[in-house]
């Protein structure tokens, strides 16, 4: 589930407000961070988006969002399986998972409380580990917040006057600030009009359904409109971004071309699994 949520959060960076057009886009980008390097290929056309992840030359997984049908398809290339479900079905399974996790952590919390009196006698590393588990148990068992309680950060965007060429596209630089603090430097290429393929209202409906299932307010970037880069998407596509933590995302190739409908379908011969099976249940 965490990997899926992260993928969703990363995919949303690729879309913004505009009107769909006939030609689609294929964008290759590389993401580098503390966890290593991730190669992604994005396909966008007519309210459909596919995010493909690779390990070297091998495709490992893909996620397809069909905004007209309000469905999400996960494809596992290693296992040669896939699952398709509506956003509401995903949200329902997420709620069940978080509820079960909260119950388990609640039981653990009761057991760990018996050890609180002994924490002062434990080595520092063990004490911190137990305190972290207690904190997690409290958060997991807490009631889900109301949507109106999840207030987005205050975002400010300032042009830097810098210009670069990335993957053959001219791009302008911006600095993004979140609640007054520097968040990232971003270069936007207006010639990459991939964002026009997505209806923002349909995207918002799908993501809102998903975020309703979260037990806590989504972190910045985990909910539509909450990532600072969102304010720049209307002007083009981010061909390079550098976060305050040093994580980078850079486009290495982008081309506009018509995509066949089968581009957004699971490969032939892959076995279909239920959503619960794909998430590790029975």
pLDDT, tens digit, 9 for 90 and up, residues 55-77: 878 899 999 999 999 999 999 99
Among 175, 217, 240, 197, which Cα is nearest to 65's? 197
Predicted pLDDT at 20: 41
Mean pLDDT of 10-32: 66
CA–CA gap between residue 24 and residue 121 (Å, rounded): 62
For the cut 90, the answer to whether the pLDDT of residue 126 exceeds it is no
**Poorest-confidence range of 24-28, 31-35, 133-137, 245-249?**
133-137
**Strand 169-178 relative to strand 181-189: parallel, antiparallel, unpaired?**
antiparallel
CA–CA gap between residue 147 and residue 209 (Å, rounded): 11
Q: What is the pTM of this model?
A: 0.72
Question: Degrees (nearest 5) of the Cα angle 66, 69, 195?
Answer: 40
Predicted pLDDT at 139: 55
At the fourth CATH level, the homologous superfamily of domain 2-89+150-277 is Lipoprotein localisation LolA/LolB/LppX (2.50.20.10)
Is the Cβ–Cβ distance between 87 and 96 less than 8 Å? no
For the cut 60, the answer to whether the pLDDT of residue 143 exceeds it is no
Predicted pLDDT at 204: 82
| H or E element, residue 275 | helix 275-278
Whole-number mean pLDDT of the chain?
78
Predicted pLDDT at 261: 83
Tokens of 5: 């949520």
- Contacts of 91 by beta carbon, 8 Å cutoff, 6+ apart: 209, 210, 212, 213
* Highest-confidence segment of 135-144, 196-205, 232-241, 259-268: 259-268
**Banded pLDDT at 81 (limits 50, 70, 90):** very high
Predicted pLDDT at 17: 39
For the cut 50, the answer to whether the pLDDT of residue 10 exceeds it is no
* Highest-confidence segment of 33-42, 92-101, 102-111: 33-42
Is the Cβ–Cβ distance between 144 and 214 less than 8 Å? yes
pLDDT, tens digit, 9 for 90 and up, residues 154-210: 778 899 999 999 999 999 999 988 888 998 999 999 999 998 898 888 888 888 887
**Banded pLDDT at 267 (limits 50, 70, 90):** very high
pLDDT, tens digit, 9 for 90 and up, residues 84-103: 999 888 888 877 766 666 66
- pLDDT > 70 fraction of the chain, expressed in percent and rounded: 67
């Amino acid at each position: 589930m965490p990997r899926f949520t992260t993928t969703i959060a990363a995919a949303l960076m690729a879309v913004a407000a505009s009107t769909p057009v006939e030609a689609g886009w294929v964008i290759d980008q590389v993401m580098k961070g503390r966890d290593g390097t991730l190669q992604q290929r994005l396909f966008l056309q007519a309210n459909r988006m596919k995010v493909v992840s690779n390990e070297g030359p091998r495709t490992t997984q893909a996620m397809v969002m069909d905004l007209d049908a309000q469905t999400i398809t996960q494809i596992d290339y290693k296992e040669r399986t896939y699952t398709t479900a509506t956003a509401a079905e995903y949200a329902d399974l997420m709620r069940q998972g978080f509820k079960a996790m909260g119950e388990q952590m609640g039981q653990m919390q009761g057991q760990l409380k018996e050890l609180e009196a002994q924490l002062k006698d434990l080595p520092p590393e063990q004490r911190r580990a137990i305190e972290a588990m207690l904190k997690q148990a409290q958060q997991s068992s807490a009631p889900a917040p109301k949507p109106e309680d999840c207030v987005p950060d205050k975002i400010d965007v300032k042009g830097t006057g810098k210009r670069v060429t990335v993957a053959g596209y001219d791009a302008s630089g911006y600095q993004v600030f979140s609640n007054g603090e520097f968040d990232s430097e971003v270069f936007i290429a207006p010639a990459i009009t991939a964002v026009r393929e997505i209806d923002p209202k349909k995207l918002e409906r799908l993501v809102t359904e998903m975020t309703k299932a979260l037990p806590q307010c989504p972190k910045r970037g985990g909910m539509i409109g909450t990532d600072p880069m969102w304010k720049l998407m209307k002007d083009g596509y981010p061909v390079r971004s550098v976060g305050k933590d040093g994580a980078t995302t850079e486009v290495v190739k982008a081309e506009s071309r018509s995509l066949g409908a089968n581009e957004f379908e699971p490969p032939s011969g892959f076995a279909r699994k239920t959503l619960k099976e794909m998430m590790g249940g029975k």
